[in-house]
Structure 1
Amino acid sequence: MQNKEPLLRSDWTIYRGGAVFFEGAESCRLQNCLLYDLGNNAVFFSKFNRGCEVSGCQISEIGASGICFVGDPGAVRSPSFEYNEFIPPPEIDRTPGPKTNNYPKDCKVYDNLLFDLGYVEKQSAGIELSMCQDIVISHNTIYDVPRAGINVSEGTWGGHIIEYNDVFNTVKETGDHGSFNSWGRDRYWQADKKKLDSVVAENHGMALLDVVKPIVLRNNRFRCDHGWDIDLDDGSSNYLIYNNLCLNGGIKLREGVNRIVENNIMVNNTFHPHVWFKNSQDVFRHNIVGAAYLPIGIADWGTEIDYNAFPDSVSLAQARSRGTDEHSVYGPLLFENPQKGDFRVKKDAAALSIGFKNFEMDSFGVVSARLKAIAKKVNFPSVLAVDNYSKDETIAFMGARLKNLRTLGEQSATGMDRIRGVLVSSVARGSAASQFLQANDVILMWNRKQVNNLKDLLEAKNAAIGKDAEVIVFRNQKELRQQIKLKMQ
């Protein structure tokens, strides 16, 4: 329980140790081992490691994470540690990549069974990557964990290949996370979204100074019932995401650059784009979604959002009304045998007309007979007809548009601790609301009255006409208290 070392730009801390500990190792293997009933991390690769491998192991009933790769912060250029810390842009080292070689590289995690992890540390992962490069994570089965199955902390320094894994029963004791989770709070990043937008607009390449190689996420099966199947948070950049089967939580991309998402299946869920940069250069094409997109704070839709398959005409019409998906199609989601996990698209399905290509459905997870025999099996969902006709109520308020904060996506995009408050969807320039509100704010209190919904806000506001009002909003991961003057109306 000595997890006191902060990871880069996060609320995570970690203990740099484990039952099996590698540092300064080359060409070492941990193979066909059983690690169980351990109080902290099971396997830890610290600082310099090259060409090492963990394979054929069962790792279970563990106090913290299963397998960790964590480099030396001294190898990072312009590092920051706490979420709200940042280096002013003029002071940032503009040299791409690492400063030293004191980090794990060219290592492999193959054919391992990991389950019942995080008994003590909930801020943990099945496999954790931080300050490392070119790590291959292939054919692992991971389930029953409090947070992510696979977590990529920050972008330093990319090059990972994450393939053929089976990850489910995740985010069981936490929230705002995914079966696969990442953040990209690299040297350019800061929590103030307006300032961050201007940084990327002026120098797009700064977002790629740390994640110098693309991270590949392909041919995996994910299921998260308490978050997203794939969750790219806070600036995650330079990703190639294709041929993934997402069984419940869909795919979320928060702000970042150079993400290409192609040929994925999202069962009973959809694409969640959140607060993108104006010049993200993101691509989302040849995918199958199970419902209408759920964008939050999107003004610019990247390089290409098109050639996708929707379940119905209403979902497609909503997308086209935003200027995307000119060549996309709609039609029933016709899968071969979803009850048995075969989500290959049938020959007469509309999805095949827009370039979607079927991929293997029987190659996820562990490959050794010994581990296959004891691994838990994922539950396959029934394919549901999602209601695309309901709309959240929005109201005009002092030149802003407001709605109740009510979805997991809205909670994540705002950074709220739970679903509560009133979400600011937009603010007209020069309006009264623009003096104290910004888009993506959450109004929490008005004149010492708790604001849980629109009704609470309107009642509190009407009681304070002509008087000074104190307003508390949640913005950039913290509460902001403001005094305003309300005129008679």
Structure 2
Amino acid sequence: MDPHGMPSGGDWALERTGALFFEGTENLLIESCIFEVLDGNGIMISGYNRFGNITTNEFRWLGSTAIALWGYTSGTDVPGMGWDGTDGNQPRNMSIMYNFVHELGIWEKQSSFYFQAKSCQNTIMGNINFNGPRAGINFNDGFGGQSTVAENLQFNTCRESGDHGPFNSWDRQVFVTKVRNGTASPEKDWDYIYSNFMIANYDSKLAIDNDDGSNYYKTHDNFFAYSSRGMKNDFGGHDNRHYNNIYAYVGTGFIINGQLKGHEDYFYNNTVVQTSDGNYGTPTCSGDGKTVVHDNKIYTPNGKVTECKMSLAEWQAKGNDPGTIAGKWPEDDVLIKMIADLLSLS
């Protein structure tokens, strides 16, 4: 119940506090600790921090978020806030690895296993996360880029919320950094989401929710299950690419907003197992910013697939979506082998 602040342009308010609080550190190590029955955040990484490692800890029964990274920027009259992130006063190059995180958000429902705002170039890898009210991993803005989300297991997220999914991002606010090419630019670099096992049960709407302007994400070689939609990008989002993923028993493969030429989204080489026949995605169907769609495998109960208000065959006859094929649901053991091969599971 302490005073909250506005980290950046996402939905969340947050306390800049934690059971462990760090500012101005380098090479921080938090290892093999147990965080249990805490009313607020577990760990707060605030402002300048570099090359820290939070690894092999357990977080359970927390009132709010397990691990939060929240930087400072400038450019306005409000200290710590504004568009300018070029001074580097943010958590960067932090590693969040092999943690076991569950039973979160007992009091604060806008909470997650991992939260970052005005922070970049981080690695979130090999964690197990389940039982929380909202998204398990939340990027509150598009600051900088070059973060990696890989080899995580997530399920039972969004238990007290009907929207988004295991991973959620926003990008409603302009930030200038030097991350992309070493010069000050409002354009972020790529973020990467790969080799994750994410189950979007509890009626989560999306497997990956790139919300409200999110851009420059490469999402590949993941297994996603049970969401209403696999890929989602809306409200000005662009340059998001999904490829080599498996989406199991989803409503549709993807939904995309209108985009500009040169900043199209991509959806290719994916396997989509849908809960019903019909539309397997909602691309931008015409104009200069057409979604790049090709070489997908689509499975429905009866193998009947549509796209852009036509049958798949009719749409392809007009030169669209080359290489995509449709068929009936695979047997369970066939699908399991696909998943095992994708994630190199023995």
Q: What is the TM-score normalised by the length of structure 1?
A: 0.60
On the 8 A contact 2:231/2:242 being kept in 1, the answer is no
Q: Could you report, residue by residue, the CA deviation over 1:139-183 in whole angstroms, capped at 9, with x for unpaired residues?
A: 001110000010111100110010000011011101221111111
Q: How do 1:282-293 residues align onto structure 2 when only pairs under 5 Å count?
A: 282-291=265-274, 292-293=279-280
Counterparts of residues 441-452 of structure 1 (less than 5 Å)? none
Residue 281 of structure 1: how far off its partner (Å) = 1.9
In our comparison, the structure showing a higher alpha carbon Rg is 1
Instruction: For residue 11 of structure 1, report the CA deviation from its aligned partner.
Output: 3.0
Aligned to 2:209: 231
Deviates more, 1:21-30 or 1:248-257: 248-257
How far is the alpha carbon of 1:336 from its aligned partner?
Answer: 6.7
* 270, 273, 277: which one aligns with 2:255: 273
Deviation at 1:297, TM superposition (A): 7.7
In structure 1, the partner of 2:191 is 215
Name 2:233's counterpart in structure 1. Answer: 253
Aligned equivalents of 1:148 and 1:131: distance in 2? 18
Alignment of 1:380-395 (within 5 A): none
For 1:302, the aligned partner's letter is K
Structure 1 stretches lacking a partner, 5+ long: 82-86, 88-92, 189-207, 347-357, 364-489
Cα distance 1:58–1:297, how it changes in 2: closer, same or farther (>3 A)?
same
Separation in 2, partners of 1:331, 1:265 = 15
Query: In the alignment, does 2:53 pair up with 1:53?
Result: yes
Q: Residues 21, 318 of structure 1: CA spacing in aligned structure 2 closer, same or farther, 3 A cutoff?
A: farther
Distance across 1 between alignment mates of 2:139 and 2:224? 18
Q: Which residue of 2 aligns with 1:309?
A: 297
Quick check: which one's strand share is greater? 2
Rounded to whole Å, the distance in 2 between the matches of 1:24 and 1:140 is: 25
Q: Which residue number in structure 2 is paired with residue 344 of structure 1?
A: 338
Return the letter of the residue paired with 1:114.
Answer: V
Aligned length: 317
Q: Which residue of 2 aligns with 1:400?
A: none
State the match for 1:157 in structure 2. Answer: 144
2:106 paired with 1:126: no
Q: Distance in 2 between matches of 1:241 and 1:273?
A: 15
Q: Partner letter of residue 179 of structure 1?
A: P
* Greater Cα shift, 215-224 or 274-283: 274-283
Report the equivalent of 1:241: 219
Verify the 8 A CA contact 1:240 1:260 in the aligned structure 2.
yes
How many angstroms apart in 1 are the aligned matches of 2:46 and 2:134?
22
The letter of the residue matching 2:323 is H
Pairwise mapping of residues 10-21 of structure 1 onto structure 2 (< 5 A)? Answer: 10-21=10-21
The CA distance in 1 between the partners of 2:186 and 2:134, in whole Å, is: 25
Q: Counterparts of 1:53-202 in structure 2 under 5 Å?
A: 53-74=53-74, 98-187=85-174
Match of 1:360 among 333, 340, 343: 343
CA change 1:232–1:80 in 2 (3 A) is farther
| Cα gap change, 1:54 to 1:345, in 2 (>3 Å) | closer
C-alpha RMSD of the superposition: 2.9
Q: TM-score, normalised by structure 2?
A: 0.83
User: Which residues of structure 2 form unaligned runs of 5+?
Assistant: 176-183
CA distance in 2, matches of 1:344, 1:176: 28
Matched AA of 1:141? I
Partner of 2:179: none
Q: 1:210 deviation in Å?
A: 4.1
Question: Percent identical across equivalent pairs?
Answer: 26
* Compared CA separation, residues 213 and 115, structure 1 to 2 (3 A): same
CA offsets, 1:44-82, max 9 Å, x none? 100100000110000010000011111113289x9999x
Matched, 1:334 2:325: no
Amino acid in the other structure paired with 1:289: V
How far off its partner does 1:35 sit?
0.4
Identify if the C-alpha distance between structure 1 residues 19 and 80 changes in structure 2 by more than 3 Å, giving closer, same or farther.
closer
Mapped to 1, the partners of 2:339 and 2:216 lie a distance apart of: 29
Q: CA deviation at 1:318?
A: 3.6
